[in-house]
Structure 1
């Protein structure tokens, strides 16, 4: 089991996100539990390329302060929605014989969706804790409606197990006992 923290960068963690307070609290709790349970925390960050605020060297590219990686945490950089395409993450996880991935981060309807579906297609058991992914309003759906659509309809029992925060933490604590 690993924890995958996707695109929790300073530019993206902002007041436009649906359920921002719970999102921040829940990810902090999940990261803390992972560390206590000796579950590897892996970060994936998005780079939109030079000339944007979401590129290496810019403040917005950095991981949000409350979620900062520790010195030995792996950080993979991507430039497409899926955390697996061209990042080395897939090979890393396969080499470590990982089977289960807890996915948290941003944005529900973009990179989280692509990462969950791609992970599923590569044979991973994808776990999505409640209120640990979020997104902003778009021209079709509010952030809340996007969150509910993906977490309650699209992913659950198709591509992932969408479970409560408490159940996720309980499973993580059991992992340490194994």
Structure 2
């Protein structure tokens, strides 16, 4: 089992996110439990390219301070929505023989959705803890509608198991 923390970068982790405080609290708890239980924490960062604020070399590109990697935890950089495409993450997980991935991070309707679906397609068992992913409003749906649409309707039972933080912690402890 690994904990995959997707796109929790300084530029986009802010109070515009749906249930911001709960999201931050849950992600911190997942990271702490993973480290306590010797579950590898893997980070993914999104790079939008040189004409963007969200690019390598800019302060906003770095991981949000409260989730910061420690002790050489791995970071994979991507430039598309899926954490698996062209990053080396897929090969790394296959070589380790990993089957179960807990996914948390940003944004529900972009990179989390793509990463969950691609992970499923590659045969991983995907676990999505409640309120450990979030997003902002878009022109079609509010952030709450996007969150509920993906977590309660699209992913659960199709691509992933969407479960409570408590259920996730139990799985991490076993």
Deviations 1:65-112 (A, max 9, x none): 000001310100000000000000000000000000000000000000
- The superposition leaves residues 85-140 of structure 1 with CA deviations (integer Å, 9 ceiling, x where unpaired) of 00000000000000000000000000000000000000000000000000000000
> Taking structure 1 as the reference length, what is the TM-score of the superposition?
0.97
Unaligned 5+ runs, structure 2: none
Instruction: Compute the TM-score of the two structures, normalised by the length of structure 2.
Output: 0.99
Other structure's SS at 2:156 match: coil
SS at match of 2:63: coil
CA–CA distance in 1 between the matches of 2:16 and 2:141?
A: 13
**Cα RMSD after superposing both structures:** 0.4
Separation of aligned partners in 2, 1:49 and 1:73: 24
> How many pairs are equivalent?
174
Match of 2:152?
152
Q: Name segments (4+ residues, structure 1) moved above 4 Å.
A: none
Whole-Å separation in 2 of the counterparts to 1:101 and 1:15: 27
**Equivalence for 2:141:** 141
In structure 2, how many angstroms separate the alpha carbons of the residues matched to 1:149 and 1:136?
13
Write the distance in 1 (CA, Å) between the matches of 2:11 and 2:77: 15
